[in-house]
Amino acid sequence: MIEVLEKAFIKSIQEMLEETPKKAKRMMKNGFISSIEILSSGERIPVFLIIRPLLLQALANRLLGEKEPDEATLIDLANELSNLVVGVAKVIASDEGKDFTISTPQFLKIGKFEPKSEASLHFKTSYSFCSLYIGAVRG
């Protein structure tokens, strides 16, 4: 699943910001925290995105033309990014013969996240960082 989510994140950022994110070693633990679940064979796999505000501001500028988005807009974009990444992962997985459904994304908070995760991915764009924690327990 982690490989599919990695491809999905890269593709999503390429489409939204017209740049290719690079893998990073830096783990994001502070930021806008959104979650979404992958539902497969009766198993619920939570996916948490921790997104730095500068990345969300870049998305707001690029997608909405807003140079100074308010907090509500940034929250909506955090959920939209979660939904897009996992939605693209669903399409990629389906192309590979694997099927799953996804939940509606939920915004958890702006703040610190203490991951207890089986797997994680970390990315850097020209704007900022983002981390995905897969199979994590809410911290």
pLDDT of 33: 96
The answer to whether residue 35 is domain-embedded is yes
Domain of residue 122 covers: 2-134
What's the rounded Cα separation, in Å, for the pair 36 and 4? 15
The answer to whether residue 22 is domain-embedded is yes
Mean pLDDT by 10 residues, the chain (139 residues): 92 94 89 93 89 95 94 97 95 89 95 82 93 71
The answer to whether residue 56 is domain-embedded is yes
The answer to whether residue 139 is domain-embedded is no
pLDDT of 136: 53
pLDDT of 138: 44
The answer to whether residue 10 is domain-embedded is yes
pLDDT of 40: 84
Counted domains in the chain: 1
Q: Which two three-digit tokens encode residue 8?
A: 């999905």
Smallest CA-to-CA distance from 80 within 100, 101, 55 is with: 55
pLDDT of 6: 94
Q: Which two three-digit tokens encode residue 90?
A: 């669903």
